[in-house]
Structure 1
Amino acid sequence: MTDSPARVLSDDELDLLELALGGAVPPTVLTAALPGVPSDVVLTDAENTPLARLTARPGALPDVLEPLKPVAAAIGPQWDPAVRRPARDVRADLETGTGDDAENSVGLLVSEVPTCEESDTAVALVTGGGTEGAAGTPTSTVLLLVPVARRAPEAGAVGAPGLVRAASGLAATLAERTAARVRTVVVPWSGLGGTALEDVGAAYGAARVETLAARRSPATAAGVAALPRVQDDAVRALYPPASAAEVIRATKGVHRRGAVVFFTGLSGSGKSTVARALAAELDDDGLGTTLLDGDEVRHHLSKGLGFDRESRETNVERIGYVAALVAKHGGIAVAAPIAPFAAGRARVRTLAEEAGAHFVLVHISTPLAVCEARDRKGFYAKARAGEIAEFTGISSPYEEPDDADLVIDTTDVPVPDAVETVRRHLTSLLADPPR
């Protein structure tokens, strides 16, 4: 494995890898979506964890995808193992189920939050009255297929957690109003790879696949499209034109005080996991959130820097500078470098406070022995063997902060609880009136 070149995957590419590992698309689709990669390549995430080896074979021979380590999961309803299952497992359950599960099943794509009309449409599809050629034939099993992406949604759009919760509500409705067995299935989906979502849905075992949003009536589609203008329209109905213009302008100009949430801790402490989960939760709350993870920053903002003390301080200061810019304009920046030195962390705090932003220093205090035992990437073993110089906690010091706003040890604190602790603290700060 170590002799093969590596390719760090983007969030969209990770979605496609997860689909391929689960049997929803063939490895050839993944190969085609990664132009320029060698014929034998190790695919890693942004933390350089080797996830799979992809081998492209000549001629008619199929490409080979070998799993190496599990794809890292986060928290939230979209990561619940009960609903985020590989396509081959979902398909196998249908094929080995009772009666005609596989032959008489329907996959309903919940790509947007279902409206009341779509809820009724779903009931009609399941009971046999909503699909041409299938009228009068009730469906025995329904797969509510929820496509979700790792990347953050567009501003104002419902994110992955909200979409899965909405689908769960639809599942309860279908269970109440039909006799079908209803299963909610999360589909990692970024649109990469050129495969139609309907075909991916079929790979999960559905005999036919319907997209609920495609069945919206023109009136419902127009109503959904008009939602962003509802408040402006109400203001214009209440005020004369000149007054309405000023009220609308003032409303759009409300500027929330931004914040920098800065995680620090040893490699393997859990800081990146908690930071990613926090950023996803804040995005789902409608708060514009930018995640500056240590490894990803190293690939872009700090590419070329080494790991000596000066380079590490430069890396941390660059992260702090970008985070302060985000927060200065009302955004939330979540950063998760190791940041081993007190002076560098103090500089980040100063940059945030000079930008008029809240600053929250979170020390993920998981002990070295626990971090070393987790070691998904094998770095600690290499550092112990002298193969990696200047490795924090082994051959380079970590200065534990004495000014942390929150201290969390993930040895005993589950990730959801850690996220909730930080979220509560941040929410209390953001309750300050807009400036």
Structure 2
Amino acid sequence: MNLPETTHVLTSDELDLLELHLGGGTPTMRLGARPHGPVTLTDAENTPLAVLEPDGSARAVKPLARAAGPHWDPALRRTAREVRDEVRRAVGPDADVLAVVVTEPPTREELAALTDVTAGAAAVLVLAPARRRPPVPGTLGGPGLARTATVVRDALRDAGTVPPVAVVVPWATDAGLVWDDVAARYGADRSVLLADHRPAATQERLARLGSLWADEVAELYPEPVAQEVTRAARSARHAGTVVFFTGLSGSGKSTVARALAAELDDEGRHTTLLDGDEVRQHLSQGLGFDKASRELNVERIGYVASLVSYHGGTAVAAPIAPFASGRARVRELAEAAGRFVLVHVSTPLEVCEARDRKGLYAKARAGEIAEFTGISSPYEEPEDADLVIDTSVTSVEDAVAQVRAIL
């Protein structure tokens, strides 16, 4: 397939926009500064995903990578075309379809108001936005909003008023998306934000939640002592962890690492994902692929991961890290800061080659890429791995569960 030479590496938000557009959720693919003419859109690993035409439409080249978690459940994360066709077949083209948008955790009062909110609708779509990038601390991310959408759906179903359908919608902040427009692409005639039906008194109570601890400290202690208690609480440092995935290109380590990071982040554990290809573009740009450069790249990843761990966070890293000496250096850095968990993703070479989305293995075998791990450069299998996973026989969900079991 001939692709345009001009390329654009998509950010996490732009990946969400592309997924939304390819599924029929927007009429065009919106990019901030798009070059003129057709553009090949790639992910951070430079895998071509789609071609963006001059008129703003995009056509898929390869499927977008999926992750794990409730917001990736195929029963919830469905395309706009699929949902629109299904709901209109069920209620007809002229029936009133309402979209209830869930952007915050609904209170008991909002759930109780659902009957009035949905009165007169022939069907209800419960839409939950989900982003690939981590949520702002203290707010619900994609997994939490997906679960919350099912709570709203079940509340409507129990009320028995209208048939509800819960849908996860790929979403991007500050991208010019309007809920009324997107909801219409999913088959709705109108949309409401459920949080808009929150009483003012409840909003005030929620606003005070963040200061309850400080208020209690101020009441219990005299002011100078309260300041010391507050200072001690802020400086408290929990032990951090580095989870270090290693394996061949195409082994599935990045997919499992992303799913693990998303799950940990959803539970409130401050998690930083250090993917090998993305680190190459930023932290290690300019390094080659000779052994010395690879060792330096891995050490840089280990150093950043150890800083995250030292400050109580969880770092999830997923480079190839082919050499035992480099992994040993990372272990040394990480264990000086907190806990270190080494996961060897042992997917066989032939499976990795068959999965190759970028054609790198074929180029390496043809001699077009020098020092390619597994072909023209060795991969030293770890003898000290805490966990070994073969993704050719283990699903992403099970792989994440196995890592979670030893954390």
Q: Corresponding residue for 1:431?
A: none
Match of 2:339 among 358, 366, 376: 358
In the alignment, is residue 86 of structure 1 matched against residue 84 of structure 2?
Answer: no
In the alignment, is residue 25 of structure 1 matched against residue 23 of structure 2?
Answer: no
Return the offset for 1:36: 4.0
Q: Corresponding residue for 1:109?
A: 101
Match of 2:268 among 280, 283, 286: 286
> What residue identity is the alignment partner of 2:33?
P
Match of 1:40 among 38, 41, 45: 38
- With normalisation by structure 1, the TM-score equals 0.90
After superposing the two structures, state which structure 1 stretch, 143-152 or 224-233, moved more.
Answer: 224-233
Q: Corresponding residue for 1:15?
A: 16
Q: Corresponding residue for 2:243?
A: 261
> What residue identity is the alignment partner of 2:89?
T
Partners of 2:302 and 2:334 within 8 A in 1: yes
Q: Corresponding residue for 2:110?
A: 118
Q: Corresponding residue for 1:407?
A: 388
- Secondary structure of 2:353's counterpart equals helix
Partners of 1:108 and 1:122 within 8 A in 2: no
- Secondary structure of 1:7's counterpart equals strand
Distance 2:141 2:162 in 1: 28
In the alignment, is residue 305 of structure 1 matched against residue 287 of structure 2?
Answer: yes
Distance 2:277 2:82 in 1: 32
1:129-144 matches, within 5 Å, as 137=120, 139-144=121-126
> What residue identity is the alignment partner of 2:42?
T
Distance 1:115 1:357 in 2: 38
- With normalisation by structure 2, the TM-score equals 0.96
> What residue identity is the alignment partner of 1:40?
P
In the alignment, is residue 74 of structure 1 matched against residue 75 of structure 2?
Answer: no
> What residue identity is the alignment partner of 2:278?
E
Return the offset for 1:121: 2.3
1:216-231 matches, within 5 Å, as 216-231=198-213
Deviations 1:131-181 (A, max 9, x none): xxxxxx2x2211000011111011122221111111211111110013211
Distance 2:163 2:34 in 1: 44
Return the offset for 1:253: 2.6
- Secondary structure of 1:315's counterpart equals helix
> What residue identity is the alignment partner of 1:156?
G
Partners of 1:101 and 1:141 within 8 A in 2: no
Return the offset for 1:102: 5.8
Return the offset for 1:246: 3.2
Q: Corresponding residue for 1:174?
A: 156
Paired residues in the alignment total 406
Return the offset for 1:353: 2.0
Match of 2:301 among 319, 325, 329: 319
After superposing the two structures, state which structure 1 stretch, 278-287 or 217-226, moved more.
Answer: 217-226
Distance 1:225 1:37 in 2: 44
Q: Corresponding residue for 2:376?
A: 395
Deviations 1:176-215 (A, max 9, x none): 0132111111111112431312321221111110011122
Distance 1:173 1:396 in 2: 57
Return the offset for 1:96: 2.0
Q: Which runs of 5+ in 1 are unaligned?
A: 57-61, 129-136, 427-435
Partners of 1:51 and 1:71 within 8 A in 2: yes
Partners of 2:4 and 2:38 within 8 A in 1: no
After superposition, the CA RMSD in angstroms is 1.6
Return the offset for 1:103: 2.4
